[in-house]
Amino acid sequence: MKAFNILFGLVFFTFAILQYNDVDPYLWIPIYASASAICILNSRGKYSFKLHLAMAAFCIVYAIILLVNKDGVISWFNEHKTESLVQSMKATKPWIEQTREFGGLMIILLVGIINIVLHKKSGAN
């Protein structure tokens, strides 16, 4: 578990750094930095169920918003025929950015769920 959390702590830290030129860095730098901090705390044996729960709740609520938003994931899927997400972001294609953001939230949520489940299985406090 320690290696898993160090790895994702570094991954999320890198994601946070890469957000400096995003259209909304004020939102995504703290999101990824928080996910990184939680993983680093986990790697040091300082697991907090409340932190994981708060991050999971945030990710779920924000993901739902991105899912149903006018230019969100459902729009990308239904109206834009799952257009490639690896192209450059343009102001005329906001569904690409919102779908990428949804994916980032899902990665954070998945790592958090893995930590919760494995922590519970290990019987640690």
Tell me the domain boundaries of the chain: 2-122
* pLDDT the model gives residue 82: 55
Asked whether the whole model's pTM tops 0.95, one would answer no
**Cα 42 vs. chain centroid, distance in angstroms?**
17
| DSSP at 82 | T
Looking up tokens 């570094």 gives: 10
Q: CA angle at residue 47 from 100 to 5, to 5 degrees?
A: 50
Question: Given the structure tokens 């919760």, which residue do they identify?
Answer: 116
On whether the CB atoms of residues 32 and 15 are closer than 8 A, the answer is yes
User: Rounded distance, CA 81 to CA 95, Å?
Assistant: 11
pLDDT in tens, the chain (125 residues): 899 999 999 999 999 999 998 888 999 999 999 999 999 999 999 999 999 999 999 999 999 998 888 777 667 666 655 555 555 555 556 767 777 888 999 999 999 999 999 988 876 55
Helix or strand holding residue 27 (H, E): helix 25-43
Instruction: Quote the DSSP letter at residue 89.
Output: P
User: What pLDDT is stored for residue 22 in this prediction?
Assistant: 82
70: helix, strand or coil: coil
pLDDT of residue 8: 98
